[in-house]
Amino acid sequence: CLDQEGKVHEFDSGWTDDCNDCSCSKNGIECCTAYMTPVNFDEEKCESIFNKETCSYKVVEKDDHSKECPVHSWVG
């Protein structure tokens, strides 16, 4: 398989690229997110911030990013 950057990957191989888990099969390349997204939290008081280095979200108060907010559901 040939990825978007022109790298060749063997059949039945897998890799992580730009926070996506990818795999190569005879049908081609498939990728899906390698992280969970918060979906059930107080959106009026809190905001989710994505960290591209760790491929993860943190949910914090909008007025004070040092205070984390509870998240009741994640999807991914």
Is 41 found in the same domain as 30?
no
Q: How does strand 13-17 pair with strand 28-33?
A: unpaired
Is 45 found in the same domain as 27?
no
Q: Among all chains, which residue has been given the structure tokens 């059949």?
A: 11
Angle (CA) 76-39-33 rounded to 5° is: 20
Coil vs helix vs strand at 29: strand
Domain holding 16, by residue range, is: 1-34
Whole-model pTM? 0.72
Is 16 found in the same domain as 41?
no
Give Cα separations from 25 to 3, 21, 34, 58, 74 (angstroms): 12, 14, 18, 33, 29
Q: What is the pLDDT along the chain (76 residues), one digit of tens a residue?
A: 998 889 999 999 999 888 999 999 999 999 999 999 999 999 999 999 999 999 999 999 999 999 999 999 999 8
